[in-house]
Amino acid sequence: MSPERYQRIRDVLAKRQTDLTVCLENVHKPHNVSAVVRTCDAIGVHRVHTVWEQQYKLRGGTAMGSQQWVRVNNHESIGDAVSHLKRQNMQVLVTHLSDRAVDFREVDYTRPTAILFGQEKYGATDEAIALADQDIVIPMVGMVQSLNVSVAAALVLYEAQRQREEAGMYNRQHLPEKECQRILFEGGYP
Ligand code: SAM
């Protein structure tokens, strides 16, 4: 590995936010998954979570180039995914257009946070909504009722990025040094 590439990966790893993540529930169109993972990489999310019911399984595995920069963990069920996230003391937010939903800009994303996004046509499942701590919504006043899922993810993630930057959370390394060394030893991300 060239010294430049080594330094580049070190700089990226130094800003990875291990306590900020997204969970994609049955989001199955490859271009949407790719776009979300790419935004995750851009704002320093280290690990993304996915849940795919049988009918939504992606053909040929996960298959999105940008995932090579972000770890992707698939879970058997939304229950497993949320338990996993809550064991890490994350607040679990579900993007869902409901009366209980708060404006996504009112949330404190400097807390350990997982943001759940739902399937392109049907949105998050009732189970996901019941398991989450809070519904959040991106306000809309147009004729169309919802945004594309990857656009919604970008908006919420960049609000999280803004708050975390303001709080100085990109100025210290969150990833354990051992994990950084392992990734560097493997030549960066696989
Ligand atoms: N009919 C579905 C529903 O009622 O949820 C629409 C699904 S929307 C196209 C796909 C996903 O994008 C949603 O599950 C949510 O994660 C996200 N999304 C889209 N627009 C949103 C908005 N205005 N606020 C919050 N999330 C939104």
Residue 149 Cβ contacting ligand 1 at under 6 Å: yes
| Residue with token string 């939504």 | 56
Domains and CATH numbers, the chain: 3-184 (3.40.1280.10)
Cβ(116)–Cβ(92) below 8 Å: yes
pLDDT band at 60 (very low <50, low <70, confident <90, very high): very low
For residue 136, the cross-strand partners are: 95, 102
* Closest listed residue to residue 151, CA positions, set 111, 104, 184, 183: 104
ipTM of the complex: 0.97
149-166 helix and 30-43 helix, angle to the nearest 10 degrees: 10
- The answer to whether the CB of 152 is under 6 A from ligand 1 is yes
Residue 124 near residue 25, CB atoms below 8 Å = yes
Query: Which of 56, 146, 147, 150 has most ligand 1 atoms within 8 Å of CB, for mutation?
Result: 146
Averaged pLDDT, 18-29:
96
- Ligand 1 contact, 124 CB (< 6 A): yes
Condensed to tens digits (0 to 9), the pLDDT of residues 62-116 reads 445 555 678 889 999 999 999 999 999 999 999 999 999 999 999 999 999 999 9
50 is in an annotated binding site: no
Residue whose CA lies nearest to ligand 1 atom number 16: 117
175 is in an annotated binding site: no
Determine if residue 21 is labeled as part of a ligand binding site. no
pLDDT value at residue 160 = 98
Cβ pair 59, 88 in contact under 8 A: no
